[in-house]
Chains A and B, each alone.
Chain A
Amino acid sequence: MDFATGLVSPTLRIGVTGLSRSGKTVFITALVHALLHGGKLPLFTALTKGRINRVYLEPQPDYDVPRFAYETHVEALTGDDRHWPQSTSRLSQLRLTIEYEASGLIARNLQGSKLHVDIIDYPGEWLLDLPLMSHSYAEWSAATLAASEREPRKSLAREWLAHLATLDPAAPADEAEVQKAARLFTGYLASCRTDDVSLSTLPPGRFLMPGDLAGSPLLTFAPLAVEPGHSAASGTLHALMESRYDAYVSRVVEPFFYNHFARLDRQIVLVDALSALNAGAEAVKDLKTALTDVLGCFRQGANSWASAMFGRRADRILFAATKADLLHHSSHDRLEKVLELIVEDARKRAEFAGARIDVAAISAIRATREATVKQGGETLECIAGIPIKGEELGGESFDGKAEAAIFPGDLPDDPHAALDGSLEGELKFVRFRPPLIPAHGAAGATATFPHIRIDRTLEFLIGDRLA
């Protein structure tokens, strides 16, 4: 059906994939803003060649999905008290239509030289659920328990593990106990996300970002110390937990995946490597595990004639290290190397399937400018901007008003140093407030956000479809 529709009104589904706080919402907002207002995108050939006639937002095709609150996000980024958008708590969708000068006969006459670009935004936590589709309750329990045995998780999990020790899987189910276990487990997951730990592999994601399911039985379960392959007797605690887990997978995870991720044309994987580097080697390792698991769920690879008719695959995948404006551009190569290491397995798999791969350090909205500071005979490549209130560096706390030049430390030449722990305390990436953009740019046009490599991203993701 996609194939038939695609002939008449071609649609490009872009999967913006990224764990929570990787910058999906800002990326989508900036992308749409740049396209709508003709931002400075020198490498996006279709735009610079003048082949794009008009770009506009259309009502999205799915009636039951909320619209992406584009205007609200732009307002948040440009308003008086400019700030980054709140973390996303529900799914939303946006359809962008690009009218362009098509060169092909079919594109010009049959398709009306239009390309619909569908983008969805969703809480990144939910993405963590995708690997659960291939795990049973017992397997998931075992993996979660094994992970909690190691630091830094061990100390965070103490309370929950203490309660777990009092539970007997074979005992009759007691709703009060189940609720307490779920609450403690959720607390443990939430504490793993704080800035100084910054772990990523924390399924099930709805525990962290429940959306409209908060308090429902679907979210009231927790791992138990059960043997894999051991079937639960009915009426026991084990049986109850298992049935809820299965319901969670079949009613929450699978619809989310099949409705939104099973048919992607292009995929961009946003990775916030800098936060993980801030927190240390454990966080980087955890990020690597989480991304490898999540990306293993997607259909990627070159499309053939048959796959075009019976289910498309993402044939271009861009791995992007976001927030590249938090370090000087001379370090971008190294950031890309770290990213390549983090997505190593996912990238190999996609490449083997025949997908086209690119890796780039990007910043959807560039909040800093670059500077060099000479101090004590050495020259430091800094970035300058207004750090967010409460950010700290070297014993100094920022108030969210003063501008500061930050030297975040040297990224290692050998990316493996990010995994072996030798970087502890050597790096600190400070977050900045969104840039102040003038109300109007040159010649009365709306000013656009400064960015890093968004044009290259666009060219890679949709450039070939606008030829």
Chain B
Amino acid sequence: MSEDPRKPKAFRLTPDEPGQAAPSKDEPHETPRPKAKPKTATKARSPRALPAPEIEFEQDAGDQPLVPAIARDHTMQKRFKWGAMLVSAALGLASMWAGLAATRLIEDLFARNEVLGWIGSGLLGLVLFAALAIIVREIVGLMRLKKLGTTQADAARAISADDARAAETTLADLRSIYSGRADMRWGMAQLKDHAQAIMDPADRIRLAERDLMVPLDEEASRIIARTARRVSVITAVAPAALDIALVGAQNLKMLRELATLYGGRPGTLGTVKLARMVAGHLAVTGGLALSDSLISHLIGKGLIGRLSARFGEGAVNGIMTARIGLAAMDLCRPLPFLTQARPGLSDFMREVVKFGDGPPVEDKPEK
């Protein structure tokens, strides 16, 4: 600390409230008043974690973070986008045309009959309102998706550097993401319960992961398994011309479900953005994952391919879907995998080749 060390001091508090000697659990704002000490403003509060503003946390610049945030695709260089200019200019023109057409339509309607004119205006108002709502929803969806990513980065920093401020931010983010959800109420109550205990920032994040992420992870695994199974069946039975479209739709649906589960609530644009992120994520981590398991699975499932080309294709598509689901899980989960085991591709293999409505994947034991 740069300032001079401060001398020890004592402040008397009112003596006639003996019950306050114990750190009370649930009354956070009791304020014993200072005794006759005019200059001393004493404000006592029950214990809870407070951000400590004057401590300068060290930036360990040289160290690699121990818990890496998700690797993201940074390979594309930012260049001036002529295509974007073309599209936005064209869109501008189109909206001017639409506006003009609408105005003219309303005018025509009024010219013909006043009642028709009012009905037309009302409908137009609804159209505009709905469009606005959609735009807002898309923007909110994108922002929430982005927030999941930043929360993850904060959490990684809190764990690696035991950074109290990053941990505070992470927890505040988690609270804002999950506060309104009925299925998270138990976890949030746990989190609130622990908020007053004194513990290390890293431990706080680990605890939050255990309280909040575990039920979500189980649900996410079920979603991925279900979709992978469905995709493999669809590939096997659907007509060849249709299966690509159906598989794509299933995958998008899965992405959307996963993002919604972890608190992303993406709209159409959000889903598309997530799909692009997943593609980037797979490109970055693809080589690694390919070497460890995919090859062996492809070879192992070759037997199915021998039996039936369609079923072989189905298995491959199912595996691919599971990989996409896992990548989306990595991206959408607001905390990195710390105390919980990260589900791997092999957890879903059984589901993919089962071709039927078996029980959902079992919960993985903890690390």
Q: Which residues of B contact A374 (CB under 8 A)?
A: 41, 43
Q: Residue B49 at the A interface, CB < 8 A?
A: yes
Q: Residue B182 at the A interface, CB < 8 A?
A: no
A406 close to B45 (CB less than 8 A): no
- The answer for the CA separation of A370 and B20 in the assembled complex, in Å, is 12
B8 close to A405 (CB less than 8 A): no
B8 close to A406 (CB less than 8 A): yes
Q: Which residues of B contact A376 (CB under 8 A)?
A: 39
The one of A333, A408, A433 in contact with B8, judged by C-beta atoms closer than 8 angstroms, is A408
- The answer for the CA separation of A48 and B214 in the assembled complex, in Å, is 13
* Chain A: interface size category: 35 or more
Q: Residue A373 at the B interface, CB < 8 A?
A: yes
B207 close to A42 (CB less than 8 A): yes
A43 close to B203 (CB less than 8 A): yes
Q: Which residues of B contact A381 (CB under 8 A)?
A: 52
The one of A48, A402, A433, A435 in contact with B15, judged by C-beta atoms closer than 8 angstroms, is A402
A401 close to B44 (CB less than 8 A): no
Instruction: Type the 1/0 row for A365-407, where 1 means its CB is closer than 8 Å to any CB of B.
Output: 0101111111110111110111000000110101001111111
- The answer for the CA separation of A401 and B12 in the assembled complex, in Å, is 11
A409 close to B7 (CB less than 8 A): yes
Among the listed stretches B191-199, B232-240, B241-249, B280-288, which one makes contact with chain A, having 4 or more residues with CB under 8 Å of it? Answer: B191-199
Q: Which residues of B contact A396 (CB under 8 A)?
A: 10, 12
- The answer for the CA separation of A384 and B11 in the assembled complex, in Å, is 9
B32 close to A407 (CB less than 8 A): no
- The answer for the CA separation of A438 and B48 in the assembled complex, in Å, is 19
Q: Residue B36 at the A interface, CB < 8 A?
A: no
Question: Distance (Å) between the CB of B54 and the closest chain A CB?
Answer: 8
The one of A380, A401, A436 in contact with B19, judged by C-beta atoms closer than 8 angstroms, is A436
B41 close to A375 (CB less than 8 A): yes
In the complex formed, the residue of B with least CB distance to A425 is B7
Instruction: Type the 1/0 row for B337-352, where 1 means its CB is closer than 8 Å to any CB of A.
Output: 0010000000000000
The one of B11, B19, B32, B197 in contact with A40, judged by C-beta atoms closer than 8 angstroms, is B197
B44 close to A369 (CB less than 8 A): yes
- The answer for the CA separation of A433 and B43 in the assembled complex, in Å, is 21
- The answer for the CA separation of A365 and B273 in the assembled complex, in Å, is 51
In the complex formed, the residue of A with least CB distance to B6 is A410
Instruction: Type the 1/0 row for B181-205, where 1 means its CB is closer than 8 Å to any CB of A.
Output: 0000000001001100111100100
In the complex formed, the residue of A with least CB distance to B339 is A45
SS of B interface (majority): loop
Question: Distance (Å) between the CB of B41 and the closest chain A CB?
Answer: 5
B21 close to A375 (CB less than 8 A): no
Q: Residue B17 at the A interface, CB < 8 A?
A: yes
Among the listed stretches A141-149, A234-242, A450-458, which one makes contact with chain B, having 4 or more residues with CB under 8 Å of it? Answer: A450-458
In the complex formed, the residue of A with least CB distance to B14 is A403
A453 close to B199 (CB less than 8 A): yes
- The answer for the CA separation of A412 and B55 in the assembled complex, in Å, is 12
Q: Residue B307 at the A interface, CB < 8 A?
A: no
A427 close to B8 (CB less than 8 A): yes
The one of B6, B45, B339 in contact with A370, judged by C-beta atoms closer than 8 angstroms, is B45
The one of A40, A408, A428, A436 in contact with B21, judged by C-beta atoms closer than 8 angstroms, is A436
- The answer for the CA separation of A438 and B43 in the assembled complex, in Å, is 24
Question: Distance (Å) between the CB of A21 and the closest chain B CB?
Answer: 20
- The answer for the CA separation of A383 and B311 in the assembled complex, in Å, is 68
The one of B10, B17, B40, B193 in contact with A406, judged by C-beta atoms closer than 8 angstroms, is B10
Question: Distance (Å) between the CB of B202 and the closest chain A CB?
Answer: 10
Question: Distance (Å) between the CB of B85 and the closest chain A CB?
Answer: 52
Q: Which residues of A contact B24 (CB under 8 A)?
A: 369
Question: Distance (Å) between the CB of B348 and the closest chain A CB?
Answer: 23
Instruction: Type the 1/0 row for B37-72, where 1 means its CB is closer than 8 Å to any CB of A.
Output: 001111111111110101100000000000000000
A404 close to B13 (CB less than 8 A): yes
Contact A426-B41, Cβ < 8 Å, known A40-B197, A370-B50, A453-B198: no
In the complex formed, the residue of A with least CB distance to B48 is A370
Question: Distance (Å) between the CB of A375 and the closest chain B CB?
Answer: 6
B17, B45, B47, B339 — which one has the most chain A CB atoms within 10 A of its CB? Answer: B47
- The answer for the CA separation of A409 and B3 in the assembled complex, in Å, is 13
Q: Residue A216 at the B interface, CB < 8 A?
A: no
A409 close to B6 (CB less than 8 A): yes
A371 close to B15 (CB less than 8 A): no
- The answer for the CA separation of A123 and B57 in the assembled complex, in Å, is 39
A450 close to B22 (CB less than 8 A): yes
B207 close to A435 (CB less than 8 A): no
Q: Residue A462 at the B interface, CB < 8 A?
A: no
Q: 3 tightest CB-CB pairs across the interface, nearest first?
A: A330-B52, A371-B44, A402-B15
Selected A-B contacts with CB under 8 Å, 12 pairs:
A45-B339, A368-B23, A369-B47, A371-B45, A375-B9, A381-B52, A393-B10, A403-B32, A405-B10, A405-B11, A407-B8, A430-B10
Q: Which residues of A contact B (CB under 8 A)?
A: 40, 42-43, 45, 48, 103, 324, 329-330, 332-333, 360, 366, 368-376, 378-382, 384-386, 393-394, 396, 398, 401-410, 412-413, 423, 426-428, 430, 433, 435-438, 450, 452-453, 455-456
